Amino acid sequence: MLQRSNDSKFPSLTDRFVQYAKVMTQADESSESYPSSACQLDLARILVSDLQELGIDNASVDKYGYVTASIPANDPAFENVPVIAFMAHMDTYPEVSGENVVPTFHENYQGGDIALPNDGVVIKASENPYLAECVGETIITADGTTLLGADDKAGVAEILEAMTRIVENPDFKHGPFKIAFTPDEEVGAGVKYFDVKGFGATVAYTMDGGERGSIENETYCADSAIVKFIGRDIHPGYAKDIMVPSIKVAGEFLSMLPRDLAPETTCDMQGYLHPISITGNTSSTEVAVLLRDFDVDELGPKAELVKEIANAACSKWPGSSVEVEIKQYYRNMKYDLAKEPRAIDYAMEAIKRTGIEPALGSIRGGTDGSNLSAQGLPTPNIFTGEMSFHSLTEWVCEKDMELATQTILQLLTVWAEKEGN
């Protein structure tokens, strides 16, 4: 275990993160249960126990795996301050292993690439320019065989650490606030059963961002296309002019997707089409394609393009057919956040008070905040330090986790000062 200096403002932060990172919570996108993997409940129970040990007796986990807790104001002057909330998700990305995570410390990082212990995995400085901002700090990675899970267990640990500091310092005055930890964010279902109205918050903050100082008020609009190609099977020895191999039709479809409309060729505010899985056989093959754009009006044309390409692929294989199902996931939260300007204004002020410059930006992805904002709970996203997430090269800077924890505390202070009696 890393030995930290005695003057650390957050002495248990890294220990908490390591503890949570070691708990397997990988989501399962093929599951029809909720949460999608039972292992997420293991962390949920740990978090309830940790909150109760801090004296938050109302901490609980419901049948869906949502962990919630309510903390009242501790000063009469702040009892009428609007209730704010801090949220993070417990699950990890389903396509990279999150089992048997081995957090690995790189103290006093001096720049350059970081070689991980196993499998020849290297975090390349050229692919991670933000590493240059972390020289002299402690970098935490996995060992090269799994992801780290800083997305979003860094956020989970930061919220718990902020709670610890509040409990241990009764002179820290604040208004009422709530905490929530959610399952299945990584499969687009993080708040599928979350009771926004019953939760009772005016504004929430997901702790699920990257670089220090970042606050994000805009996300992708996200749909997916399930493209099912139907062929015809027969014994291959007697297949001439009869067999229609659906898997080859699917391959035709994949080859026709525009190269300039892919994740690997787009950046900034550009959208994309991204095939993420293919399963099937001669008779039937299914391809899942992600549709992403910051402008909701551009999702429809992207869906039509997928259908056009699928039909064109079928036209090259007479006797084949295709079915396309479009599923909605989440929407850009920018328009909903504009209705509650305090959410961003007070966050910008809180970040400034930690001594760093806030950076307002967009996410080429989504958070639970996308759906929460659409349901009437404005929820921007705050940095945690998590970087290169969804990969074997995921890492987090310990200093950034400390700054994120400070930001949580400063948010409570700013809301109390601005909205108190």
Q: What is the pLDDT of residue 252?
A: 98
Greater confidence, 81 or 8?
81
Query: According to the 3-state scheme, what is the secondary structure of 230-241?
Result: ECECCCHHHCCC
Q: Is 268 a catalytic residue?
A: no
Whole-number Å distance between alpha carbons of 301 and 106: 46
> Exposed, middle or buried by CB within 10 Å (0-12, 13-18, 19+), for 67?
buried
Cα–Cα–Cα angle for 394, 395, 398, rounded to 5 degrees? 160
The answer to whether residues 19 and 153 touch, using CB atoms and an 8 Å cutoff, is no
Q: What's the burial of 141, exposed, middle or buried (CB within 10 Å: 0-12/13-18/19+)?
A: buried
Label residue 242 left, alpha or beta by phi (over 0 means left) and psi (-120 to 50 means alpha).
Answer: alpha
Residue tagged active-site, from 91, 252, 293, 368: 91
Q: What is the pLDDT of residues 95-104, one digit of tens each?
A: 999 999 999 9
Same domain, 163 and 107: yes
Helices (H) and strands (E) in the chain, counts: 10, 18
Catalytic residue among 50, 184, 185, 208: 185
- Give the pLDDT mean for 208-236: 96
Average pLDDT across the chain, whole number: 95
Structure tokens at 147: 């992801």
| pLDDT, position 3 | 41
**Rounded Cα distance, 94 and 37, in Å:** 10
Tens digit of each residue's pLDDT (9 = 90 or more) over 131-189: 999 999 999 999 999 999 999 999 999 999 999 999 999 999 999 999 999 999 999 89
Position 335 confidence tier, pLDDT thresholds 50, 70, 90: confident
> Does one domain contain both 230 and 322?
yes
For tokens 């391959």, name the residue.
251
How confident is the model at residue 29, as a pLDDT? 87
Amino acid 93 reads: Y
**pLDDT bracket for residue 367 (50, 70, 90):** confident
User: From residue 133, how far is each of 45, 108, 152, 348 by CA, in Å?
Assistant: 36, 12, 21, 20
Closest CA to 396 of 213, 134, 184: 134
Same domain (yes/no): 109, 197: yes
Domain finish residue from 330, 346, 381: 330
Domain stops at, among 305, 330, 355: 330
What band does 2 get if pLDDT is binned at 50, 70 and 90? very low
Which alpha helices (DSSP H) does 138-216 contain, by range?
A: 150-168, 196-199
Mean pLDDT of 111-125: 93
Same domain, 264 and 325: yes
Q: Which residue, 71, 49, 74, is CA-closest to 60?
A: 49
Per the structure, the complete domain to which residue 118 belongs is given by 13-219+332-419
Sequence-separated (6 or more) residues with CB below 8 Å from residue 68:
59, 60, 62, 178, 179, 180, 181, 199
> Does 214 share its domain with 231?
no
* CATH number of residue 321's parent domain: 3.30.70.360
- pTM here is 0.86
Q: Do 181 and 244 have their domain in common?
A: no
199 shares its domain with 89:
yes
pLDDT of residue 331: 87
Q: How many domains would you assign to the chain?
A: 2
Instruction: Classify strands 221-230 and 203-209 as parallel, antiparallel or unpaired.
Output: unpaired
Inform me whether the pLDDT recorded for 113 exceeds 50: yes
pLDDT category of residue 418 using cuts at 50, 70 and 90:
very high
In-domain check, residue 1 = no
Please say if 79 is a catalytic residue: no
CA angle 30, 34, 37 (to 5 degrees): 60
Average pLDDT (216-235) is 95
pLDDT level of residue 7 (50, 70, 90 thresholds): low
pLDDT in tens, 52-92: 999 999 999 999 999 999 999 999 999 999 999 999 999 99
> 168: how many CB neighbours lie within 10 A of its CB?
9
